[in-house]
A = this chain, B = another copy of it.
Amino acid sequence: MVCKVHLYEKPVLNDPVLIEGLPGIGFVANITALHLIKELNATLFAEIKSSSFQDLAMTTGNGRIYFPTNQFYYYKGKEGERDLIILYGNTQSLTTIGQYELCGKILDISEELGCKYILTVGGLRKEEKIETPEIYCTASDTETLQEALDFGAKIMKGHIFGVAGLLVGLCTLRNIKGLCLLAETSGLYPDAVATQQVLKAINTMLNLKINLENLSTAVEETGEILKSFGIVTSSIEKKDREADFRWFI
């Protein structure tokens, strides 16, 4: 099946931005998406299951059952706000090929709804102590990059693994603009402070008025999900990454 899309509703949106919020370093993207969904009361409209997700089911003891999935929510902006597509999920793909297929499907769904702008977010791991997390950025083109630089983001240097990097890369094949915003984080736990900086940047760039007071709810919920599965850090994906550099410069 590779990727199977379940479309519950096809929303009519006006020049929407997709905000990517899958699990990654510091769970910054995951908390960002969850907070946006809660604050904006966004509506679930589609779901992706992929053969490259884990072959398992999970229950947390309260009767709720989870499966590896990626969900799409939409929000119709009010008073000059931009329409949003929010991608939330509990997993990325397990394989490189699966990541490409997943990103292709995410872009298919986005394009179908008229989306011409993808915003990926995440954490940028830092060994040193972080006072106020800085935002680093990279983009599909210099114009989009400049917009991020204008509000104070710094230019990212290095590799952006996974969906956050890949989506921006694949944008360039489809004439979609892509921006990646990464907040400095120790990456050791669901990082509320880093996420707050990302959400402030999103408020500025997309002309939104997301309330940041209740951010701790999304952080705690993400932490609860992690704890119920015995996971307390997101550092797992680091190992074996060396192997990916065979042939690559």
Contact = CB atoms under 8 A, between A and B. Distances in A.
Interface string A216-240: 0000001001101101000011000
A55 B166 contact: yes
Interface stretch (A78-86, A97-105, A110-118, A196-204): A97-105
Contacts of A247: 22-24, 91-94, 162, 237
A159 interface: yes
Contacts of A56: 159-162, 165-166, 169, 244
Contact of A51 (B53, B96, B229, B249): B96
A67 interface: yes
Interface stretch (A12-20, A35-43, A57-65, A127-135): A57-65
Contact of A55 (B53, B161, B180): B161
A6 interface: yes
A236 B226 contact: no
Interface string A62-80: 1101011000000000000
Contacts of A139: 65
Nearest to A190: B249
A168 interface: yes
A23 B47 CA distance: 30
Interface residues of A, number: 78
Main secondary structure of the interface of A (DSSP, over half): mixed
A169 B246 contact: no
Nearest to A22: B247
A55 B100 contact: yes
A52 B97 contact: yes
Interface of A: 1, 4, 6, 22-24, 27, 30, 47, 49-63, 65, 67-68, 90-101, 103-104, 138-140, 142, 145, 155-163, 165-166, 168-170, 172-173, 180, 222, 225-226, 228-229, 231, 236-237, 242, 244-249
- In order of increasing CB-CB distance, the 7 nearest A-B pairs are A57-B165, A61-B157, A67-B169, A51-B100, A92-B247, A55-B99, A51-B97
